[in-house]
């Protein structure tokens, strides 16, 4: 079964008054079965009357009688496709048959099948109206027979029950089929929901790993690129400075490899003790030292009383500072000064990274275009915080993140 057909089944099952039985049966096969049943009933009724003409009593069977028997039986072949017209034909033929005093036969059961079909194939409100109207007509005709022909009064109850019971049975069959379809639709929907949740979880994990790759590895690669360019410029004039720059490149490359191994390890099933621990705010000194080796002047100010942070807050706060300083290295221009302020408040953590460079405003827009700012905004959103980014008056760029914390008691 294709996904489209399954979804159509679910939508049909949720439609008020949906005809469950039609979805659970094969129309062509049902027609063949009904046709065989109708022919068998016709032959049984006809042969019984022709074989025992005096046993049943009443008017002798003739061509009109055969037509009335055919109307009560053969029309049942179309009972599922046209339940109401077939019921009208069967009941009409039955009333005429009884009114003309033809012998009783198996054809009377055609009315039972027709009423059963109305209960099983038609929506509740319509089927009730049709069934009640039919039963009223049959009972009224029986009352006339009791009064006019001296039929015993209990015949009224018998005929009313004979007409009501098949309809009630059909309604119950419809309810069972509808319940089966509802259960099937629920099972299919639950399976699809599970698959969607699994796909969403995979996508979320991929996004998180991509963000980690960008924030961590891209930072190291940026430092390597700048230091390699600096080493290339001074290689002939100042070999010692070139060697120092290449040492920074080597350290950055080693850290990038460690981060890549750690992130790739998340995609495998090895034990976690082989993975490097995630950095936090206590690693800012090492980060700033690395950036100063790359030529960026960074001033770190910590306000308030530092305290242990939840791991998710700690690593994301570090990544926000790291990405902000990486953007400064990329866009602020040579000789830029960066200021990092980490403020521990009673109920929040404020991180502010600003620089006095001239390139950030042109390279990054205030609404957060660029993968780095998008990653920062996603991190802050996951922590229910807020992020403000944009160029400052007089030059430079600022990133301000506010992350809520558990209040100090």
Indicate if the pLDDT at residue 81 is higher than 50.
Answer: yes
| Residue 57 confidence (pLDDT) | 55
Q: Are 182 and 29 in contact (CB under 8 A)?
A: no
| Residue 354, H or E segment | strand 348-355
Q: Are 301 and 341 in contact (CB under 8 A)?
A: yes
pLDDT class of 362 with cuts at 50, 70, 90:
very low
Indicate if the pLDDT at residue 6 is higher than 70.
Answer: no
Report pLDDT digits (tens) over 147-178. Answer: 766 667 777 788 788 888 888 888 888 888 88
Indicate if the pLDDT at residue 352 is higher than 80.
Answer: yes
Q: How far is CA 254 from the centre of its chain?
A: 44
Question: Over pLDDT 70: what percentage of the chain?
Answer: 76
Q: Are 3 and 196 in contact (CB under 8 A)?
A: no
DSSP 8-state class, residue 396: -
| Residue 336 confidence (pLDDT) | 82
Q: Which two tokens stand for residue 342?
A: 């980490």
Indicate if the pLDDT at residue 84 is higher than 80.
Answer: yes
Indicate if the pLDDT at residue 397 is higher than 80.
Answer: yes
Beta strands at 297-303 and 386-391: parallel, antiparallel or unpaired = unpaired
Distance CA 395, CA 360 (A): 9
Indicate if the pLDDT at residue 365 is higher than 80.
Answer: no
- For the segment 33-61, the average pLDDT, to the nearest whole number, is 77
For helices 63-73 and 27-51, angle between their N-to-C axes, nearest 10 degrees: 150
Long-range contacts formed by 51-56: CB under 8 A, 24+ apart? 53/103, 56/103, 56/104, 56/105
Please give the backbone phi and psi of residue 135, each rounded to the nearest 5 degrees, phi first: -65, -40
- For the segment 200-214, the average pLDDT, to the nearest whole number, is 65
Q: 91: Cβ–Cβ under 8 A, 6 or more apart, which residues?
A: 111, 114, 134, 137, 138
Query: What DSSP letter does each residue of 113-135 carry, written as one string?
Result: HHHHHHHHHS-HHHHHHHHHHHH
- For the segment 359-365, the average pLDDT, to the nearest whole number, is 44
Task: Choose the weakest-confidence range: 24-38, 97-111, 290-304, 367-381.
Answer: 367-381
Query: What DSSP letter does each residue of 224-237 carry, written as one string?
Result: HHHHHHHHHHHTTT
| Residue 166 confidence (pLDDT) | 86
Task: Choose the weakest-confidence range: 72-81, 213-222, 363-372.
Answer: 363-372
| Residue 235 confidence (pLDDT) | 77
| Residue 399 confidence (pLDDT) | 93
Three-state DSSP class for residue 339? strand
| Residue 344, H or E segment | strand 337-344
Indicate if the pLDDT at residue 24 is higher than 80.
Answer: no
Q: Which of 393, 332, 399 has its CA nearest to residue 368?
A: 399
| Residue 288 confidence (pLDDT) | 87
Q: What angle do CA 259, 264, 266 make, to 5 degrees?
A: 105
| Residue 12 confidence (pLDDT) | 54
Domain with CATH 3.30.565.10 in the chain: 281-409
Mean pLDDT of the chain: 77
Q: Are 291 and 325 in contact (CB under 8 A)?
A: yes
CATH number at 281-409: 3.30.565.10
pLDDT class of 94 with cuts at 50, 70, 90:
confident
- For the segment 248-269, the average pLDDT, to the nearest whole number, is 65
Indicate if the pLDDT at residue 361 is higher than 50.
Answer: no
Report pLDDT digits (tens) over 285-301. Answer: 888 888 887 778 899 99
Indicate if the pLDDT at residue 142 is higher than 70.
Answer: yes
pLDDT class of 401 with cuts at 50, 70, 90:
very high
């Amino acid at each position: 079964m294709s996904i489209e057909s399954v979804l159509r089944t679910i939508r049909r099952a949720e439609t008020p008054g949906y005809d469950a039985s039609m979805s659970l049966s094969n129309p062509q096969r049902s027609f063949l079965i009904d046709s065989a049943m109708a022919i068998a009933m016709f032959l049984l009724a006809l042969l019984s009357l022709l074989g025992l003409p005096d046993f049943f009593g009443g008017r002798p069977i003739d061509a009109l009688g055969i037509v009335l028997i055919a109307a009560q039986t053969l029309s049942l072949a179309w009972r599922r496709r046209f339940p109401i017209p077939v019921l009208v034909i069967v009941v009409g033929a039955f009333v005429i048959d009884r009114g003309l005093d033809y012998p009783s036969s198996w054809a009377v059961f055609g009315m039972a099948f027709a009423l059963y079909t109305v209960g099983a194939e038609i929506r509740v409100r319509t089927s009730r109206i049709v069934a009640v109207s039919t039963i009223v007509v049959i009972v009224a005709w029986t009352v006339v027979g009791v009064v006019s022909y001296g039929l015993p009064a209990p015949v009224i109850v018998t005929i009313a029950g004979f007409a009501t019971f098949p309809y009630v049975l059909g309604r119950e069959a419809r309810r069972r089929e509808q319940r089966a379809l509802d259960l099937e639709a629920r099972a299919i929907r639950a399976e699809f929901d599970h698959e969607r949740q699994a796909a969403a979880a995979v996508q979320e994990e991929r996004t998180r790993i991509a963000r980690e790759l960008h924030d961590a590895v891209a930072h190291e690669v940026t430092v390597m690129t700048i230091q390699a360019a600096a080493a290339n410029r001074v290689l002939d004039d100042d070999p010692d400075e070139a060697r120092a720059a290449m040492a920074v490149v080597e350290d950055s490359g080693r850290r990038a490899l460690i981060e890549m191994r750690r992130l790739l390890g998340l995609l495998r099933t090895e034990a976690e003790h082989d993975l490097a621990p995630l950095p936090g705010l206590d690693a800012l000194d090492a980060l700033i030292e690395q950036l100063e080796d790359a030529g960026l002047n960074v001033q770190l100010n910590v306000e308030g009383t530092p305290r242990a942070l939840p791991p998710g807050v700690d690593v994301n706060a570090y990544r926000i500072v790291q990405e902000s300083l990486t953007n400064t290295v990329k866009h602020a221009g040579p000789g830029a000064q960066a200021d990092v302020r980490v403020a521990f408040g009673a109920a929040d953590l404020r991180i502010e990274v600003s620089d006095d460079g001239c390139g950030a405003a042109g390279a990054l827009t205030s609404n957060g275009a660029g993968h780095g700012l998008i990653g920062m905004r996603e991190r802050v959103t996951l922590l229910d915080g807020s992020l403000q980014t944009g160029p400052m008056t007089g030059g430079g760029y600022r990133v301000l993140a506010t992350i809520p914390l558990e209040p100090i008691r």
